[in-house]
Structure 1
Amino acid sequence: MNQVVVIALRRPYTFVVLSILILIFGIRAAITTPTDVFPNIKIPVVAVVWTYSGLMPLDMSGRVVYYYERALTATVNNIEHIESGSYYGRGIVKVFFQPGTNTSVAQTQITSVSQTIIKQLPIGATPPLILTYNASSVPVMTLQVQNASLSGSRLYNVASNFIRPQLVSVAGAALPNPYGGQSNYVTVDIDPAKLMAHNLSAVDVADALNKQNIVLPAGDQRIGPYDYMVRTNAQPREVETFNNLPLKQVGNAVVYLRDVAHVHYGGAPQANAVLVGGRQAIMMVVMKTGDASTLSVVAGIKALLPQIQPTLPSGTTVKILTDASGFVKDSVRDVVREMVIAALLTSLAVLLFLGSWRSTLIVATSIPLAILCSVAGLQIAGQSINVMTLGGL
């Protein structure tokens, strides 16, 4: 320590330059380092979501989750433990790994075994949704989408297909499916009594739809100097056309789909609703990924909303309901204020007990420089500016 003091007295300009460099790089680090409430918590967990519509929880557990868990333990490395839950039409499997496990490699192994296990599952099972779980992925903003002239299904379509794809372009933002409204698709309501009367089954109806509602590649056709692209499209353009699809012929009589069923726009029973003033609305939750900054994600969403508004149907409004950036700013501001008060009180104590303005100036400059040096060190170490790191400083 004494040697450092001697060098500082012999080479004062060197330490002045070092102080200036600390000031420059410290301020740069304070501006560019991600700012959040808590540090990034990296938990090596991968979640796998199996979907099989209509399958009971007991069957989901015994016929899907059971075999999948056995396959995971035989092919995936570094598993600490596995948690699973079976629900109506859903099976959720969480795979916890040993600390330090590379989540990307683990996710690749899980994806491979998920593809190979499908043949052992009930007919019609589809590949699962595989997600990397991160404790730092928390909601940072909630949006309300409303339009008094649109139905719930159309409003859901606007939020899901127009707003959501544009907002996910913000770095570090993740948006799950919207809440409220209802996804719309073509529904075939079959009458069992009419099926029996025409000696048909639900499989016959499904086969007729699959064979007559298709698009086949037909290639091209050269005629003289022209090359025509041939299009073979048997998909009905209107929903009512489905009702006129033939199912079978008995003598000269033809049984159409309308004779045993009714085709219309519909959807699954609505599981959640968002009401504003008695009218249906949509709520969209914006989440941040683990490495992103809450402030940057919220700022990016706010900057993008005015650009999205002109592309929406007339009368559609997008309102911000909650914003976590205010809490982050207040938390960081409180900690910084305490740091400034501590520096002032320390300088005041030196001035009162030593009576030296020079010593007071040294303390008043060394404390901020030490903090800026620590902030630069946090950035180099890949840490963020949060309540815990600032509290430690």
Structure 2
Amino acid sequence: MVHRIIDWSLRNRFIVLALSLGLFIWGVFSVKRNPIDAIPDLSENQVIVFTEWMGRSPQLIEDQITYPMVTNLQGMPNIKYVRGSSMFGMSFIYVIFEDDVDIYWARERVLERLSTVGSTLPQGVTPTLGPDGTGVGHVLWYTLDAPNIDLGEQRAIQDWYVKFALQNVSGVSEIASFGGFQKQYQVTINPNKLLYYKLSAANVINAIRANNNESGGRKFEMSDVGYIIKTSGYLQSIADIESIPVSNQQGNPIHVSDIGTVQMTGESRLGIFDQDGEGERVGGIVVMRYGENAAEVTEKVKEKMKEVAKGLPEGVKFDIVYDRGELIKESIASIKHTLVEEMIVVSLVVILFLFHWRSALSIIIQIPITIAISFILLNAFDISSNIMSLTGIALAIGVIVDNGIIMSENAYKHLAERYSEKQLKNIKGV
């Protein structure tokens, strides 16, 4: 079989050259389309379900949220296993699917199953899906350099302006905010006054909730003009909360201000983000969507940052802490430099040892063609260009050259023997 292939190739050398050229051109286009990343994505094919029930102990979270959800999420198709984790006020469920399962199909199956789990959970608890990113999806970290703005205002800028703008970038799954203070109104109740007015904390909570909403009326017509009636009841200041009536005793309303104090403050934090030992910072983490090109996503995000920076308050600017794009450029440049050096050294060694330029040329041509074809296979198997895959290609160059040298020497040997036999026959004939 091998002899027939060699014989056919020798008789149809132009077809072989045309096929090689076509594969090389195809490989060049594959190089441009191949996703680029610094490190390979070896994370599991998983869907994360996050449930928040603040103020509850890990054991209560485990018993009433994590355990019921783990048992209900088992048994789905193409699933490997389900893992659960409980902590103070939060529950995480990791649903691990088979590696060949499409991640968005998996998310749909989990959402279908979650629709039947809600009845088994405590009232007011709603599980949500995590972002459609992977374990290595953190492609860019940034902070806000705002020396003259307090941490609460910085967090407000991040959550209500920067986050929504960057989240619209193609390939971005989520912008996770960190640092600073999340502003909130806090009501500090005096227990002695609650006892005096014969009220409970639940009465205060229900009164505030009931007064923080809007209600619609109906259409009212007068003089052939229609008016839409509605009430605007959203709380907008500390005074609005203080004036909320909690109860009515003997015709006298009991307001929130009568039983406690209201103040604007930050939500309780479990940690802080300090940058370079110079103090706290507010910022965000850009999470890349599953299967996206990390280099392209980081470039798009940085371009969007230039546009977003125009709307920031005076003196506020972005400070990029971690950029996967720079790491990718340095890694790929290093591997490319190694490949070029290896090709040059191998070519010189082949020419020096064979001392036959046609044989050396046939071996040298194999190197770029084989590398180009390898990118066709990388795209076929959905493998990105990263340190591991490109290093494997660099190591394979030695094998390619060894095979070429062996075949060239073997062919050269047989041609020399044939030539010697022919010369010997000519001498005998004379």
Q: TM-score scaled to structure 1, two decimals? A: 0.89
- CA distances 1:215-236 after superposition (whole Å, capped 9, x unpaired): 1122433334433333321224
Residue 261 of structure 2 corresponds to residue 262 of structure 1: yes
Note closer, same or farther for the CA distance 1:379–1:2 as it changes in structure 2 (3 Å cut): same
Distance 2:19 2:372 in 1: 12
Distance 1:389 1:8 in 2: 31
Aligned to 1:273: 272
Distance 1:98 1:24 in 2: 35
Note closer, same or farther for the CA distance 1:330–1:48 as it changes in structure 2 (3 Å cut): same
Paired positions, count:
391
Distance 2:41 2:87 in 1: 31
- CA distances 1:245-279 after superposition (whole Å, capped 9, x unpaired): 22222224221111012223223212222345755
Distance 1:164 1:268 in 2: 19
Distance 1:323 1:61 in 2: 37
Amino acid at match of 1:39: P
Secondary structure of the residue aligned to 1:311 is coil
- Whether the 8 Å CA contact 2:83–2:95 is kept in 1: the answer is yes
Note closer, same or farther for the CA distance 1:17–1:92 as it changes in structure 2 (3 Å cut): same
Let me know the Cα RMSD of the aligned residues. Answer: 2.6
- Whether the 8 Å CA contact 1:84–1:93 is kept in 2: the answer is yes
Note closer, same or farther for the CA distance 1:169–1:257 as it changes in structure 2 (3 Å cut): same
Q: Once structures 1 and 2 are overlaid, which stretch shifts more, 48-57 or 279-288? A: 279-288
Q: How do 1:1-393 residues align onto structure 2 when only pairs under 5 Å count?
A: 1-41=2-42, 43-73=44-74, 76-124=76-124, 126-131=125-130, 135-275=134-274, 278-393=278-393
Q: Give the unaligned 5+ runs of structure 1.
A: none
Note closer, same or farther for the CA distance 1:58–1:301 as it changes in structure 2 (3 Å cut): same
State the Cα distance separating 1:152 from its structure 2 match: 1.0
Distance 1:58 1:388 in 2: 42
Note closer, same or farther for the CA distance 1:268–1:293 as it changes in structure 2 (3 Å cut): same
Amino acid at match of 1:390: L
Note closer, same or farther for the CA distance 1:170–1:263 as it changes in structure 2 (3 Å cut): same
Secondary structure of the residue aligned to 1:181 is coil
Distance 2:193 2:272 in 1: 35
Secondary structure of the residue aligned to 1:84 is strand
- Whether the 8 Å CA contact 1:171–1:292 is kept in 2: the answer is no
- CA distances 1:112-133 after superposition (whole Å, capped 9, x unpaired): 3333333333333x21122367
- Whether the 8 Å CA contact 1:141–1:285 is kept in 2: the answer is yes
State the Cα distance separating 1:3 from its structure 2 match: 4.6
Amino acid at match of 2:108: T
- Whether the 8 Å CA contact 1:136–1:290 is kept in 2: the answer is no
- Whether the 8 Å CA contact 1:246–1:257 is kept in 2: the answer is yes
Note closer, same or farther for the CA distance 1:353–1:117 as it changes in structure 2 (3 Å cut): closer
State the Cα distance separating 1:196 from its structure 2 match: 0.9
Q: TM-score scaled to structure 2, two decimals? A: 0.82
Q: Once structures 1 and 2 are overlaid, which stretch shifts more, 258-267 or 269-278? A: 269-278
Secondary structure of the residue aligned to 1:254 is strand
Note closer, same or farther for the CA distance 1:193–1:139 as it changes in structure 2 (3 Å cut): same
State the Cα distance separating 1:163 from its structure 2 match: 1.2
Q: Give the unaligned 5+ runs of structure 2.
A: 394-430
Distance 2:296 2:313 in 1: 28
Secondary structure of the residue aligned to 1:149 is coil
Distance 1:89 1:207 in 2: 22
Secondary structure of the residue aligned to 2:271 is coil
Determine what percentage of the aligned residue pairs are the same residue.
21
Note closer, same or farther for the CA distance 1:251–1:310 as it changes in structure 2 (3 Å cut): same
